[in-house]
Amino acid sequence: MATEYRPGQTVPESGIYDVVHHDACRHRPHQITAVRGNEFPPCHDCISNPRFRLAQAALHLDDHPAFAT
């Protein structure tokens, strides 16, 4: 099973994350792009209940050696 992250936790790896909200939330599962070092955000509707799972890791442009400044 993939590791799940909660709002307020630090994004461990840049990439695309699957987001699953609380059953009572109006939002359906979807994907977001998150950057390593940032915090996973809360949902404005279900606050602390969304869960984030890494679907596809991807280096942020600033972290790639060919493009880093």
* Span 5-58, pLDDT tens digits: 999 999 999 999 999 987 777 778 899 999 999 999 998 887 668 999 999 999
Question: What digits encode the pLDDT tens for the residues 48-62?
Answer: 689 999 999 998 888
Q: What pTM was estimated for this model as a whole?
A: 0.84
Instruction: Classify 33 as helix, strand or coil.
Output: strand
Structure tokens at 10: 């630090």
Going by C-alpha positions, the residue among 12, 59, 60 that lies closest to residue 40 is 12
**What's the CA gap between 56 and 26, in Å, rounded?**
25
Instruction: Please report the beta strands in the chain, taking only residues with DSSP state E, as ranges in sequence order.
Output: 4-5, 15-20, 30-34, 51-57
Show me where the domains of the chain are located.
4-63
